[in-house]
Amino acid sequence: MVRFQKIKSAYRGLLHSKYVKYYRAKCELLPLCLQKLKGFSHFQDPDEYSLVSEAEKLYQKSEFVTVLEITDGLTRIFYLIPGDFFSDDIEPEFELYFRVRSEEGLRALLGVIHRGKVGGKRFKHRSVLSFLASFVFSFLLSALAEKAGFWIQMAVLLALTGLIYLTLDYPFSLLYFRGVEVIGKPGRKDFMIIIKRRQRENRRKLS
């Protein structure tokens, strides 16, 4: 019975996933950037609990949440905005989209963001790292093929593939097991599906 409930909960999470966008920008003059965003509430150097608590409230009400971070290298300013936020006045250093299937996943994602584990040179040069990893992987596999049997090759292949994935995609590779998936920018079709699903749910409640 407990196992059935877990499967049912996971299935419900798959159908009711929402989107979170992490939008980070650098700003040398924070007061100037804050002025451009004066219509939104912000949090200056918040603790993780406060940031997660506010994000959960918005996640419960909105199908799409933007986590906007502005920093001058010392101070971090966070905005939690409903919808897919973008501003020509605030040029992003990078932006990432996530499909988040549960509040537990949201808490894990916000924790990673708050601890500054997202971004940096490793993500900017991700394609180069992937190429180098593939090259080393192919070299090791060809060297092993001359000395090892088929099943040993397969075992090493799977182990190296898993290691490369976990390393290159960290921390996202671990977040995936919490119901958080890195995706491309959601299209209009995704939102039409969400809208129709919500309409069906509302009709069921009224009937």
- pTM here is 0.66
Q: What is the mean pLDDT of each run of 10 residues along the chain (207 residues)?
A: 48 68 92 89 94 94 94 94 89 89 93 83 55 62 62 66 59 79 66 44 49
Q: Where are the domains of the chain?
A: 2-118+179-206, 126-164
The answer to whether residues 97 and 191 touch, using CB atoms and an 8 Å cutoff, is no
CA angle 81, 87, 90 (to 5 degrees): 100
In sequence order, the 6+-apart residues with CB closer than 8 A to the CB of 37 are 68, 70, 79, 87, 90
Host H or E run for residue 79: strand 76-82
Query: What are the b/e assignments for 109-118, b being 16+ CB within 10 Å?
Result: bbbbbbeeeb
Confidence at residue 16, expressed as pLDDT on a 0 to 100 scale:
65
The answer to whether residues 30 and 70 touch, using CB atoms and an 8 Å cutoff, is yes
Confidence at residue 195, expressed as pLDDT on a 0 to 100 scale:
41
Rounded distance between C-alpha atoms, residue 95 and residue 160, angstroms: 29
Structure tokens at 181: 């998936």
Confidence at residue 56, expressed as pLDDT on a 0 to 100 scale:
95
Confidence at residue 48, expressed as pLDDT on a 0 to 100 scale:
94
The answer to whether residues 66 and 21 touch, using CB atoms and an 8 Å cutoff, is yes
**Number of other CB atoms surrounding residue 80 within 10 Å:** 23
Confidence at residue 142, expressed as pLDDT on a 0 to 100 scale:
65
The answer to whether residues 95 and 21 touch, using CB atoms and an 8 Å cutoff, is yes
